[in-house]
Structure 1
Amino acid sequence: MGEIRDAERTRKKILQAAKKEFFERGYHGTRIESIAKRAGVKKQLIYHYFKGKDDLINQTIADFVSAVPTENLTLPTNPVDIAEFRLEVNLNNLRDFLKFTAWEAVEELPHNVNGEEIRSKVLQSYNADMKSKQEMGLVPKELDPALITLMMSSLTIYPLLYDNVTRLITGHTLEEPEFQEKWAQFLRQISERIFERED
């Protein structure tokens, strides 16, 4: 029993080290040797638990997503609240992971080495949620649910990832609590216009 617990602890330690390396350095910048050093294990031990770098990054992302509390992935009932909610979740829970997505934008990755399957499920659930809200009459029929999801992602991720551009445009960054509040209010105003109901 102790051996199993030790093995689980070692595997978890490797995944934590891998998460830090991948999220800080991207896929190509990360080396198995660096993960081993950060985890305090021998490189060969990593290959005992994982088939290689591709397997390790997929399992790292799967482990990260499974650790995100489900309430952070469950969207509010009122579509007006979604953008503000997603901004808060991104700020409080997904910053490191979102940095990794910025690496994805500039690196050419081998197929499906970025937890694509599990991430697709989450994002497709957002599409399905928006479609369901549309069927309930909460979202205008002429708007494509997938494009709304993409828009929400853009508005709630961009200022967080691109602090410098945000500062150049607004004079502020999302690190400033006052600007966070101002941006959240702006997202609510935009959402109220998009999702306003005609009674």
Structure 2
Amino acid sequence: MGEIRNAERTRKNILKAASTEFFEKGYSGARIETIAANAGITKQLLYRYFKGKDELYREVFGHLFEGWGPDVFMMPANPVQIAEHRFKVNAEQLLGFLRFTVWEAIDPGPGSLMGEELRRKVLHSYIADMRDKQEMGLVPEQYDPAMLTLAISSLTIYPLIFGDVTKLITGKLPTDPDFQEEWKRLLRSLSERIFGGK
């Protein structure tokens, strides 16, 4: 029993070390030796758990979705609250995944876009939600739901991912609670203008 627990612990340590390595260096920059050292094991032992970097990369991506509750993908009924909600969820629950996607854009790694079908489904659910709100008269007809979804995604992701730029512009890191409160207020104000305060 203890041996099984140790194996599970070792596997979790490897995945944690691999996540850090991939988030900081991307696929090409990540080194198996560094992952093993940071997991507190030898490279040879790591290969007993994972065949290589490709498998480890895919496994890390698969674990990004663990622990996400339904609130991660739910949208508020009032469109004025959507951007603020998405920013909060991104900052509190999806930051690892968002960092992963930046590296993925720069350095695609093995094969096609990881989890492409799931990502498309989630993003299209946001568009469908915006379209439904438009049909209910909550979103002005002049706005394309897909373009609004892209704009909200940009406003709720960019300041978190490009923390250096955020700091250069505002003097604050995106993790600073004061910055986050100010940004949420701005998102709400812009949303009130776009959606007419509905």
Q: Cα distance, 1:84 vs. partner?
A: 0.5
CA contact (8 A) 1:58 1:115 kept: no
Alignment of 1:23 onto 2:23: yes
User: Residue in 2 aligned with 1:59?
Assistant: 59
Distance of aligned partners of 1:187 and 1:36 in 2 relative to their CA distance in 1, 3 Å threshold:
same
User: Residue in 2 aligned with 1:130?
Assistant: 130
- TM-score for both structures, normalised by structure 2: 0.81
User: Residue in 2 aligned with 1:147?
Assistant: 147
Q: Secondary structure at the match of 1:23?
A: helix
RMSD: 2.7
Distance of aligned partners of 1:178 and 1:70 in 2 relative to their CA distance in 1, 3 Å threshold:
same
User: Residue in 1 aligned with 2:121?
Assistant: 121
In 1, Cα distance between the equivalents of 2:177 and 2:37?
36
In 2, Cα distance between the equivalents of 1:91 and 1:79?
19
Give the length in aligned residue pairs. Answer: 198
In 1, Cα distance between the equivalents of 2:147 and 2:93?
24
Which structure 1 segments of 5+ residues have no match?
none
CA contact (8 A) 2:127 2:149 kept: yes
CA contact (8 A) 2:15 2:60 kept: yes
Deviations 1:100-149 (A, max 9, x none): 33323433444326444443333333233323333333323342222222
In 1, Cα distance between the equivalents of 2:132 and 2:12?
37
CA contact (8 A) 1:57 1:115 kept: no
In 1, Cα distance between the equivalents of 2:170 and 2:128?
34
In 2, Cα distance between the equivalents of 1:126 and 1:40?
41
Q: Cα distance, 1:190 vs. partner?
A: 1.0
Which structure 2 segments of 5+ residues have no match?
none
Q: Cα distance, 1:185 vs. partner?
A: 0.9
Alignment of 1:190 onto 2:182: no
In 2, Cα distance between the equivalents of 1:117 and 1:7?
32
Alignment-mate amino acid for residue 139 of structure 1? V
Deviates more, 1:113-122 or 1:156-165: 113-122
In 1, Cα distance between the equivalents of 2:150 and 2:28?
26
Deviations 1:131-188 (A, max 9, x none): 3333333323342222222111110111222233334434444343333222111101
Q: Secondary structure at the match of 1:66?
A: coil
